[in-house]
A and B are shown apart, each in its own frame.
Chain A
Amino acid sequence: QVQLVESGGGVVQPGRSLRLSCAASGFTFSHYAIHWVRQAPGKGLEWVAVISYDGSSKWSADSVKGRFTVSRDDSKNTLYLQMNSLRAEDTAVYYCARDGAPYSRRYMDVWGKGTTVTVSS
C-alpha cells in the first residue's frame, strides 16, 4: 500500500543541523511532488516546503527559507529535509506528505506518521 515513513528526528542544540528522511513505498515516487509539513506542540499545521516530482523546483516557507533545504533521491525512493541553524521554534513533529496529483502540486493525500524534532540546549 502507499506509505511514507519519516525518520531522523531527535534532540538537537540550537544552531546545529539535522537531516530528516522520508521513505516512500507503494507508488511511483518519481511521479509525485512531496511536501514537508510540521506541527509544533499543541499548535496547528504549518507547511514547510515542497519539491517537484522531478526535483527541478523547490519552494519553502519564509520561516525556514535559507535554513532548510528539501531534496530527493528517486533511486532510493527517499525525500530529505536538511535543517540548518535550528532554532527553538523549529521544535515540532515533521510530516512528509505526497501530493495527490501526479506531475502537479495541488494537495496532500498521503501522510507519514511524523518524526519529532526537539531543539533545546
Chain B
Amino acid sequence: QSALTQPASVSGSPGQSITISCTGTSSDVGGYNYVSWYQQHPGKAPKLMIYDVTERPSGVSDRFSASKSGNTASLTISGLQAEDEADYYCTSYRSSTWVFGGGTKLTVL
C-alpha cells in the first residue's frame, strides 16, 4: 500500500500562508471525498484538523482550510503562528482501508 505523497518540509514566516499538497491516485484521493488532515506536535497524538476534504471540526482555527483537485488534496494555513509548527499528515480512504501521506514538517521561521 503506497503512501500518499507529501513534501517532506515547508516553511513560512509568522503571518504568511503556506500550502501542503497531498498527491494520491484515482483509487484514493481522487476517488473519494474522504480526505482528512492531522497535526502532530512532537511526542503528542495526532489532532484532526480537516475532514471530508474541506470540513473543519469545531475548535479548529479558521486559519486552516483545505481543498482537492483531481488526485491532489491541499491544506492551507494562513496567518502562520509559532504554534502551527508541527508535522502534518493527510490520509485518504482507499477501498475499505486508509492510507497516510509521509508527513510534512512545517517550520515557522
Given contacts A112-B45, A113-B45, whether A106 and B97 have CB atoms under 8 Å apart is: no
Contact B1 A100 (CB under 8 A): no
The number of chain B residues touching the other chain, given as a range, is 20 to 34
- Which single member of A44, A59, A97 contacts B3 (CB below 8 Å)? A44
Contact B51 A107 (CB under 8 A): yes
Contact A106 B3 (CB under 8 A): no
Chain A residues closer than 8 Å to B34, beta-carbon distance: 106-107
Contact B101 A95 (CB under 8 A): no
Given contacts A44-B3, A108-B36, whether A35 and B47 have CB atoms under 8 Å apart is: no
Interface residues of A (CB under 8 A from B): 35, 37, 44-47, 50, 59-63, 95, 97, 100, 105-109, 111-114
Chain A residues closer than 8 Å to B3, beta-carbon distance: 44
Contact A111 B47 (CB under 8 A): yes
Q: Total number of A-B contacts with CB less than 8 angstroms?
A: 65
Contact A111 B98 (CB under 8 A): no
Chain A residues closer than 8 Å to B101, beta-carbon distance: 44
Of the candidate stretches B12-20, B71-79, B88-96, the one touching chain A is B88-96
State whether the Cβ of B57 lies closer than 8 Å to any Cβ in chain A: yes
- Which single member of A44, A97, A105, A109 contacts B93 (CB below 8 Å)? A105
Given contacts A45-B89, A45-B103, A107-B34, whether A50 and B98 have CB atoms under 8 Å apart is: yes
How far is B46's CA from A35's CA once the two chains are assembled, in angstroms? 13
The smallest beta-carbon distance between A25 and chain B, in angstroms, is 16
The smallest beta-carbon distance between A37 and chain B, in angstroms, is 8
13 A-B contacts (beta carbon < 8 Å) = A44-B89, A44-B102, A45-B40, A45-B46, A62-B1, A95-B45, A106-B51, A107-B34, A108-B48, A109-B57, A111-B46, A111-B47, A114-B45
Contact B89 A107 (CB under 8 A): no
How far is B98's CA from A35's CA once the two chains are assembled, in angstroms? 10
How far is B99's CA from A35's CA once the two chains are assembled, in angstroms? 12
How far is B45's CA from A36's CA once the two chains are assembled, in angstroms? 13
Contact B45 A44 (CB under 8 A): no
